[in-house]
Chain A
């Protein structure tokens, strides 16, 4: 097992190299002149040329790429073209916000999606099955920004029961330890902050989690339906086991395998969706960070952040594969 993990980690190197080439090329294909966006419209051609030279923008791409990778290997993600802030520091601060939001959305999607899928399968063709699966069909095609704005309008503007933006109310104090606010508030025993952070998470979490939730619910249902027809489920019933035990242990553990694959893939989708969600809910994470950087043509930020996001995605996929082993003993990693 350990050998397998190490081998997979080594195999990540070429993957990440590919990803870095891809992000680098993408960023340099985006139209727009970084020098111009830094100096403004009024800059003269000589000023621009000077800056380009200084930033290495006139070097061949291969040299630029080499510099980019060289720095990254030293943990240097470069600095913002606009504000000159150290990108690594910025990301270290913003990443926990994104991860907290993504994990929260994923847990929401998994708990509700799996439960709905199981119930829909066990009570096939019941009103619950019909309603939840129609809902799920609707859910996968819902645009996040529309859903987010509708939620803000209903829950924050009209009903005033949830905060429209941010991670924490300005009146709430929280000692930041890990920058994961839920975790920090538990660590410092600050229940007021926990509640506030939780309420702030609800809307963006739901907006972000709706599509994966719908996908997971549909996948769970079809997978459960197939498993419930298997011989070993009949065996479990003939052994005199309780129905709940048969459904939630014997059937679900088998039915979960294809769902796990979907969850791994949906995680990538969540990281992408975070850009939209964070922008709508002014969530101070790397999604919003990269969005603003794109608007400002700050290619340094875009390049580094996308590389980080891609790395996380690849790691999540590795984690999914390892979890697979736990759920399916038939899989051999040799």
Chain B
């Protein structure tokens, strides 16, 4: 595949939940694409719709109450929203691998690692039990589980969190997927393990030329592994840019707020400056910009006009009225 054609192209995605308390617009109009070998980061606070974006791609939105009400998800040129359940099943776990946040709860506690790996492989490949077992051993080796032969028949509770996440990754990679979605894969792990896991992602990506969607709320993770970043707020993109550019020339007040909330462990200053206010309640979003109630630079017009995503620079998009006409940055 030509490296410029996107592997995945998400167009104007809207995923809503229809609950008794009203409609929750968990994802409300996002566009992004992932190229082979590229890592796209999706960042945002809790509840901004990151996981729902991932689940929408896999067609795993619980319905009811959830529904993809608009948009397209083009994987290798074909719209996944037009596919039947059976066709989607052949893509999940084979073409698209997924790693979840909490390795302690993401593996089935009553089945051995072997069973959980072999069933994945055999669901997609025409392998004998023996072949699937051999492939499992190979994968465990690949992700760095020591003594895989012995560990294959162990149960999840016999592994540490970091080891379990390696197993999750091994399962996600079982069928050589072209896209890997990792939903906060290191959040539940401590820092050293986190570094090892991120390293594993980079290594696997190089070997398999996968596209990766790295969902996180940790800008540290973004700076380490992502080529491009989408910052999400209340189901919408706030800012979209190449990683380096975002750190150097981030523009959206929310992005800047996120950057300030990274703890700076320097002798003079080691205080965590979180963004004021609480994440928005998606049941009753304000009329204008959804970030307005928390924004330090809020203007009169912000309360009435919901801004569009505008390109302020090459490949740098911002959804904020501050940049509607001028291209100059606001310094905080």
A interface, CB within 8 angstroms of B: 230-232, 234-242, 245, 250, 253-254, 327-330
Contact size range, B: 20 to 34
Beyond A235-B108, A330-B155, A330-B157, whether A241 also contacts B119 by CB under 8 A is: yes
What's the Cα separation between A245 and B120 when bound, in Å? 12
In the bound complex, do residue B98 and residue A238 qualify as a contact, i.e. CB atoms below 8 Å apart? yes
* Chain B residues near A241 (CB-CB < 8 A): 89, 93, 119-120, 123
* Chain A residues near B110 (CB-CB < 8 A): 253-254, 327-329
Beyond A241-B119, A241-B123, A330-B157, whether A236 also contacts B58 by CB under 8 A is: no
In the bound complex, do residue B92 and residue A237 qualify as a contact, i.e. CB atoms below 8 Å apart? yes
* Chain A residues near B209 (CB-CB < 8 A): none
In the bound complex, do residue B108 and residue A239 qualify as a contact, i.e. CB atoms below 8 Å apart? no
Partner-binding segment picked from B99-107, B133-141, B250-258, B279-287:
B99-107
* Chain A residues near B171 (CB-CB < 8 A): 235, 239
Given contacts A231-B100, A232-B105, A240-B92, 7 further A-B contacts (CB under 8 A): A231-B105, A235-B108, A239-B119, A240-B120, A242-B123, A250-B108, A254-B110
Q: Is B109 an interface residue (CB 8 A)?
A: yes
What's the Cα separation between A230 and B107 when bound, in Å? 10
Q: Is B94 an interface residue (CB 8 A)?
A: yes
B interface, CB within 8 angstroms of A: 58, 60, 89-94, 98, 100, 102, 105-112, 119-120, 123-124, 155, 157, 168, 171
In the bound complex, do residue B123 and residue A239 qualify as a contact, i.e. CB atoms below 8 Å apart? yes
In the bound complex, do residue A242 and residue B108 qualify as a contact, i.e. CB atoms below 8 Å apart? no
In the bound complex, do residue B60 and residue A234 qualify as a contact, i.e. CB atoms below 8 Å apart? yes
In the bound complex, do residue B109 and residue A329 qualify as a contact, i.e. CB atoms below 8 Å apart? yes
* Chain B residues near A230 (CB-CB < 8 A): 105
Beyond A238-B93, A238-B98, A240-B120, whether A254 also contacts B60 by CB under 8 A is: no
In the bound complex, do residue B105 and residue A240 qualify as a contact, i.e. CB atoms below 8 Å apart? no
A17 → chain B closest CB, angstroms: 36
In the bound complex, do residue B155 and residue A232 qualify as a contact, i.e. CB atoms below 8 Å apart? no
In the bound complex, do residue A239 and residue B92 qualify as a contact, i.e. CB atoms below 8 Å apart? yes
In the bound complex, do residue B58 and residue A231 qualify as a contact, i.e. CB atoms below 8 Å apart? no
A230 → chain B closest CB, angstroms: 7
What's the Cα separation between A240 and B171 when bound, in Å? 11
B62 → chain A closest CB, angstroms: 9
| Complex A-B: 23 CB contacts under 8 Å | A231-B100, A235-B106, A235-B171, A236-B108, A237-B60, A237-B92, A238-B60, A239-B119, A239-B123, A240-B89, A240-B90, A240-B91, A240-B93, A242-B89, A242-B123, A254-B108, A327-B110, A328-B109, A328-B110, A329-B110, A329-B112, A330-B109, A330-B155
Per CB-CB distance, the 7 closest pairs between chain A and chain B, nearest first, are A240-B93, A240-B92, A239-B93, A231-B105, A238-B98, A232-B108, A329-B155
* Chain A residues near B111 (CB-CB < 8 A): 250, 253
Q: Which of B105, B120, B155 contacts A239 (CB 8 A)?
A: B120
What's the Cα separation between A231 and B120 when bound, in Å? 16
What's the Cα separation between A329 and B89 when bound, in Å? 29
What's the Cα separation between A80 and B252 when bound, in Å? 92
What's the Cα separation between A254 and B89 when bound, in Å? 23
What's the Cα separation between A238 and B94 when bound, in Å? 10
Beyond A253-B110, A329-B155, whether A235 also contacts B100 by CB under 8 A is: yes
What's the Cα separation between A330 and B111 when bound, in Å? 10
B94 → chain A closest CB, angstroms: 6
* Chain A residues near B109 (CB-CB < 8 A): 232, 254, 328-330
